[in-house]
Amino acid sequence: MRRRERIGLLLLLATTTLAVAPTRAHAQMCSRALSVRIGPRGLGFIAETVKPLVPTSIDVPDVDKVVLDWPITDNDARVKMSGVKASVDLKDLRIFSNGTSLHLAAVVDVGANGPVQIDNPYVGFGSASCQLDVALKKLSVDVGARIDMDAGHVKVEITDAKIDFDEQASRVALTGCTLGEVLSAVVKFIKNHFSGAIKSLAEKIARDRVPPLLEARLAGTLEKSGQINDVSYTARLDALKADFNGVQADIGAQLGFAAPAGGAPCLAGVDTTPPATCNGPAPQLSAGIETMFAAGINEALLQSVVHSAWRAGKLCIDSDALAQSKPELLSKLDGLGTMLGQPAGTKMSFQVKIGRAPRVRISEAFGLLLDLDELEISMQLTPPNAPAGGMRILASLTVGAKPSVSPESGAITVSLRQAVVKRMELLGAQPGTPGFGMDPARLTRFIDTVGMPLLQKRMGEIQLSPSVIGLEGLAQSQSASPIGAIAGNLLVELKQIQMRDGYAAAYLDVHRKQVTDDRQPPATSIVEAPNGIVGPAMIKIVVTGNDNETPAALLRYRYRLDGGQWSETTYNRRIDVVAAAGQHEVEIAAVDQQGNVDSSPVRVVYSVDENPPDLQVSKVPPNVLEEPTATVHFSGSDDITPAAQLAYRAELFRQPQGGGAPELVSQGEWLVGAAFASMQPTGDGIYTMRVTVRDGAGNVTSKDFGFVVHSGGGCSVGASPSTATSTLPLLLGLLALVGIARRRRRRRSAR
């Protein structure tokens, strides 16, 4: 099952109380952990979906009905029917909520025929066996019910029961009766009053027989179990209520994952701590968001699910798997090797193991917060023209990621909102790996203050899947049931994701796939595309379309690069493309629900520039700065971007006393066509001034220049002036060592 089908399946499970199953170890039943709201449009959609499932014939319940109370005898004239068949032609069906009652209203044409026995009230006058022939036109039935849940029991109360039909167009006939004089009067009375008898009989059946039938039916679905692939689930109906905004159900749930035979090999530890007690408030679903359906999950159930997934090894991550499943996510990590002091072009691979079950919180501000303890990260870095190196890090992190539905691309996205290092320990590094022999404390500070913010910026928005999801996987797994037949023809459109403290909610509409004889293709248009020259990164293109029948949200798209094979057709309006250096063309075509393809796809032409610009420096600050400002004169050149269009920026860093990561003192703006930059130090110390040039594709080149600010008089190392050593020679020596190391790195990269 594909990932998007799994997402769609989970959404459907969240909107029904009938899907449930035996659970795995480490999963707990969480009371009122799920909430499902069916809005007015959702009730209407269910009614339309149920229509084809209404049987065309029904068995009429046996009837023993008093039709006349004779005043001069204790016996009554009675009509008895058994074995009567009725044909049903459903004309209209509505399901709606009216205050606290849930209403079912239908309009049908009914035809019935079968034996009828009429008992005479007078002893000795006998009875008549007749043949009933009834055709009721526009029979309207409106039954309202209030459903109360109490301690796991269901009570149904009929609040309204109205029956009517078109008497002028209807037909009632009793034939084949052998009648005496008195019995003829009874039959005549029945014929004259049959309309009223039918109405009162139907209303009596609705009030007397429907509640126990509904109660028995609902009681049988209070708790159900099931399994799909390696996910088992149990659902229990805890509460049900109706109001003017529809119907809401609170559901107890239990979800579990099957662990692989022999355990999960990627677990770093053997944490047997069970998850916390699974209880919490029911999710609160907003009636102000007008979608067909809404589904919410509370923090307690999510924690239980994550714990079970961790035990089953579902949370392990490695770069090889990401390269296969989510290459666009892996591309966001490009350049992290250079953050760790490696030269440009360094390739990185990694594997992440989690030694303890993650702790989950849901926050309105930060989204889904994960506390990841005993996180073991193995990294392998391969610099260009140099041997590979690697290191192992043991870390504890708190990561906050917020999912949403992008209005721009219509995709389900996730953005990294928080990344905090609580603990970082360098377990080991391969000898000779450049930059890996650093002090663990400095590594921790660097990753916390530089690496994590940069990672958070790069992971600003990751596309997970389209917001429109087909349910083909559910249709296949439930092919033997009516649900399978219905699901295969449905599309789920996720409209909004809402994060609140303690729970999360999703709001969605459901559409039927259209089947028409439409032959007109849709039209495609561009919303966002690269402008001319781009750097060596993932290229983002956003499109939209319009069609004479298919709504814009249900259009699909396909694309191809440089005239190659067309991609798979998906609901993605955002196209992410990776291409090598040079000029490229991407074609994108919209496809409607009938399979008609835009014959004039849009074209996006762009050039990928992998070469960074050159930076030449003509003047740098002296090693010992005695002036209030440090000035650097520079110029740049590039193979594609004209020199006059290159942009420059200057930054000033200060080395803290006692060591640690450099502190940013000042940062200038990007200026096009600049020729020099001046920065003002904030006092004595060791400084580094960095100048960066950027071309039109976003490629950058930078150079650092170190200097010392020394005001003189009293700056010394030692216990007394007579034995003190001036810091100036030490600082100059340090600068010399930095310069030698820099020249060696340049020579190595040049080779």
CB within 8 A of 268, min separation 6: which ones?
A: 353, 354, 355, 374, 375, 376
CB within 8 A of 57, min separation 6: which ones?
A: 85, 86, 87, 88
Task: Tell me the angle at which helices 194-208 and 210-219 cross, rounded to the nearest 10 degrees.
Answer: 30
pLDDT for res 380 = 78
Last residue of a domain, one of 558, 573, 608: 608
Task: Tell me the angle at which helices 181-192 and 194-208 cross, rounded to the nearest 10 degrees.
Answer: 70
Q: Higher confidence at residue 177 or residue 502?
A: 502
Last residue of a domain, one of 208, 228, 243: 208
pLDDT for res 600 = 94
Structure tokens that stand for 506 in this block: 């999703």
CATH number at residue 745: 2.60.40.1220
| 99 in the same domain as 10 | no
Whether residue 182 has pLDDT greater than 70: no
Whether residue 11 has pLDDT greater than 80: no
CATH number at residue 587: 2.60.40.10
Query: pLDDT tens digits, residue range 384-433?
Result: 777 777 777 788 888 888 999 988 888 888 888 877 777 777 666 655 54
**What is the C-alpha to C-alpha distance for residues 453 and 291, in angstroms, rounded to an integer?**
36
- pLDDT band, residue 507 (cuts 50/70/90): very high
| 675 in the same domain as 731 | yes
Identify the residue whose tokens are 């250079």. 338
Q: Assess if residue 299 is contained within a domain.
A: yes
pLDDT for res 102 = 86
pLDDT for res 209 = 73
Structure tokens that stand for 541 in this block: 């293109």
| 449 in the same domain as 304 | yes
What sign has the CA pseudo-torsion 166, 168, 170, 176?
positive
How many domains are contained in the chain?
Answer: 4
Percent of the chain with pLDDT over 70: 73
pLDDT for res 511 = 92
Query: pLDDT tens digits, residue range 617-641?
Result: 999 999 888 888 899 999 999 988 8
CATH number at residue 136: 3.15.10
> Of 576, 530, 525, 575, which is closest to residue 552 (Cα–Cα)?
525
| 348 in the same domain as 413 | yes
Q: Assess if residue 232 is contained within a domain.
A: yes
- Which stretches of 151-266 are assigned E, i.e. beta strand? 153-175, 223-228, 231-243, 246-257
Lowest mean pLDDT among 50-54, 89-93, 264-268, 694-698: 264-268
| 224 in the same domain as 101 | no
| 332 in the same domain as 183 | no
Structure tokens that stand for 398 in this block: 């708190």
- pLDDT band, residue 332 (cuts 50/70/90): low
Whether residue 651 has pLDDT greater than 70: yes
Range of the domain at 560: 523-608
Q: Higher confidence at residue 392 or residue 468?
A: 468
pLDDT for res 716 = 32
Last residue of a domain, one of 208, 235, 269: 208
Q: Assess if residue 485 is contained within a domain.
A: no
Query: pLDDT tens digits, residue range 560-573?
Result: 999 999 999 999 89
Which three-class secondary structure string do you get for 10-39?
Answer: HHHHHCCCCCCCCCCCCCCCEEEEEEEEEC
Query: pLDDT tens digits, residue range 700-747?
Result: 899 989 999 876 533 333 333 333 334 444 444 444 444 444 444 444
pLDDT for res 505 = 95
CB within 8 A of 423, min separation 6: which ones?
A: 394, 395, 396, 444
> Of 629, 626, 637, 666, which is closest to residue 650 (Cα–Cα)?
666
Amino acid letter for position 524: T
CB within 8 A of 431, min separation 6: which ones?
A: none
Query: pLDDT tens digits, residue range 360-390?
Result: 999 998 899 988 888 887 877 777 777 777 7
**What is the C-alpha to C-alpha distance for residues 458 and 443, in angstroms, rounded to an integer?**
20
| 27 in the same domain as 79 | no
| 130 in the same domain as 32 | no
Amino acid letter for position 681: P
